[in-house]
A = this chain, B = another copy of it.
Amino acid sequence: MRKVSVIGIGETKMGNYPERSLKNLIKEAGNSAIADSGIEKKDIQALFIGNFNSSLLCSQSLVNGLACEVLELDNIPSMRIEAACASGGLAFRQAYLLIALGLYDCVMVGGVEKMTHAPSALVTEAIASAEDYELEVTKGLTFPGVFALIANRYMEDYGLSRRELSYIPVQSHSNAYLNSDAQMKKLIDIDKVMNGMPVADPFTIFDCSMVTDGSAFVILCAKDKLNQFTSRNTGVVDVIGSGHGGSWLSIANKNLTSFDGTKQAAKEAYQMAGVSAEVIDLAEVHDCFSITQIINTEDLGFFPPGKGGFAANDGMTAIDGKIPVNTSGGLKAKGHPIGATGISQIFEIVTQLRGDAGKRQVKDASIGLTHNLGGAAVTCAVHIFQRSE
């Protein structure tokens, strides 16, 4: 397979923008990525876009055609991928693979979501559409409940306390405080998390990721064709591994404390990259809920099963820790613009590998990983990136 590089990134500040349209969000993030890449629009051969619920919340499907129109990309193939919260990560994988395998040379990939304009009951219903409607949603189980079941099982099995779980969002808020694109800019402490509004036992509001409007885009190019498309010769980041894993929709027959989809995706990505978890310098992982971040860091091989929460409490996932996790602030505090989340994670890793992350910069970051999960670990994308020498 050919080597593929990320040559441009762009995103909106994540936030609460009920007055902004899908078009407006796409336009800002997309044109920012194009400008950052130094390529001309005419060189973009295809566009892939992740979007979860604009059909439901914005009466808008075929968001790929909308993006081509807004970004003035003429007559190119385009496609929308819906993989719930992993929509962005899987859109990125399709674009990456079709360049790596030689079909295209230069592709644009993005994600967008617009949710805060809708009543919260409708947002909850839209998000719950990524569960099994017949088996779960009609019984009153929505996602906070799904992951609360998971948290209870994990805490019981491994002895993680409510106080230790609370450290996860504290760190996310602390990292987001250093990120100008983050939706949440407020430092919190463990007592605040524990005393927050109850959502689904053991979760308080601080264990749950945000409802976010936002968009993010990246430009991918075959590494052997870089000179044809851009004069950029610094800040190029290579994609060295890609993995896709999955499991069934409902949680009825699932292991609740480890996700097969993540492990499959990680295995594929590590094999492709020829590296193991030990060499990863930093990772953005899918922290839709506090417990998810902990389980992900175990499934990705950073910590043994049952140890991820304790490791975080020991400072191992901090910006200056052994394996910094969610330096951006993660879904919890940077924000969770669902279809854009997987691309926004890549935005952070590329920013870090370029050395452009300012006060949250991970020292000597060379290899970074993104992990994007859809549904109750129903579909999962893992990508590994390396600073180009």
If the complex has contacts A55-B56, A84-B61, A98-B97, are A79 and B379 also in contact, measured as CB distance less than 8 A?
yes
Query: Are B246 and A65 touching (Cβ within 8 A)?
Result: yes
The closest CB in chain B to the CB of A247 belongs to B75
Residues of B close to A133: CB separation below 8 A: 58-60
Residues of B close to A88: CB separation below 8 A: none
Query: Are B130 and A246 touching (Cβ within 8 A)?
Result: no
Bitwise interface map of A from 60 to 73 toward B, beta carbon under 8 Å scored 1, else 0: 11101110110000
Is A248 an interface residue, CB under 8 A from the partner?
yes
CA distance A129 to B90 in the complex (A): 22
Bitwise interface map of A from 121 to 155 toward B, beta carbon under 8 Å scored 1, else 0: 00001101110111001000000000000000000
Query: Are B248 and A69 touching (Cβ within 8 A)?
Result: yes
Is A82 an interface residue, CB under 8 A from the partner?
yes
Out of B60, B125, B261, name the residue touching A59 (CB < 8 Å): B125
Distance from A2 Cβ to chain B, minimum over Cβ atoms (Å): 11
CA distance A46 to B55 in the complex (A): 26
Out of B61, B97, B248, name the residue touching A65 (CB < 8 Å): B248
Is A344 an interface residue, CB under 8 A from the partner?
no
Q: How many copies of this chain are found per oligomer?
A: 2
Query: Are A264 and B379 touching (Cβ within 8 A)?
Result: no
Bitwise interface map of A from 78 to 90 toward B, beta carbon under 8 Å scored 1, else 0: 1111111000001
Is A8 an interface residue, CB under 8 A from the partner?
no
List A residues 96-136 near B (Cβ within 8 Å). Answer: 97-98, 101-103, 125-126, 128-130, 132-134
Is A260 an interface residue, CB under 8 A from the partner?
yes
CA distance A58 to B98 in the complex (A): 32
Query: Are A378 and B62 touching (Cβ within 8 A)?
Result: yes
Q: Most chain-B CB neighbours within 10 Å: which of A21, A60, A260, A261?
A: A60
The closest CB in chain B to the CB of A378 belongs to B65
Is A10 an interface residue, CB under 8 A from the partner?
no
Is A76 an interface residue, CB under 8 A from the partner?
yes
Is A3 an interface residue, CB under 8 A from the partner?
no
Bitwise interface map of A from 149 to 176 toward B, beta carbon under 8 Å scored 1, else 0: 0000000000000000000000000000
Is A245 an interface residue, CB under 8 A from the partner?
yes
Is A307 an interface residue, CB under 8 A from the partner?
no
CA distance A175 to B46 in the complex (A): 37
CA distance A102 to B378 in the complex (A): 24
Query: Are B132 and A245 touching (Cβ within 8 A)?
Result: no
Is A77 an interface residue, CB under 8 A from the partner?
yes
CA distance A75 to B260 in the complex (A): 7
Query: Are B80 and A82 touching (Cβ within 8 A)?
Result: yes
Is A329 an interface residue, CB under 8 A from the partner?
no
Query: Are A130 and B97 touching (Cβ within 8 A)?
Result: no
If the complex has contacts A83-B64, A246-B68, A374-B62, are A77 and B379 also in contact, measured as CB distance less than 8 A?
yes
Query: Are B249 and A68 touching (Cβ within 8 A)?
Result: yes
Query: Are A65 and B379 touching (Cβ within 8 A)?
Result: yes
Residues of B close to A23: CB separation below 8 A: 134
| A62-B374, A65-B248, A78-B246 given; 15 more Cβ-contact pairs under 8 Å | A55-B82, A55-B126, A60-B132, A62-B82, A62-B83, A64-B378, A65-B246, A68-B249, A69-B248, A75-B261, A78-B378, A79-B81, A79-B83, A101-B101, A101-B102
A-B contact pairs, 13 of them (CB 8 A): A55-B82, A60-B129, A60-B132, A61-B84, A65-B246, A65-B378, A66-B132, A75-B261, A77-B245, A79-B90, A80-B81, A82-B82, A101-B103
The 3 closest A-B pairs by CB, nearest first: A101-B101, A65-B249, A65-B378
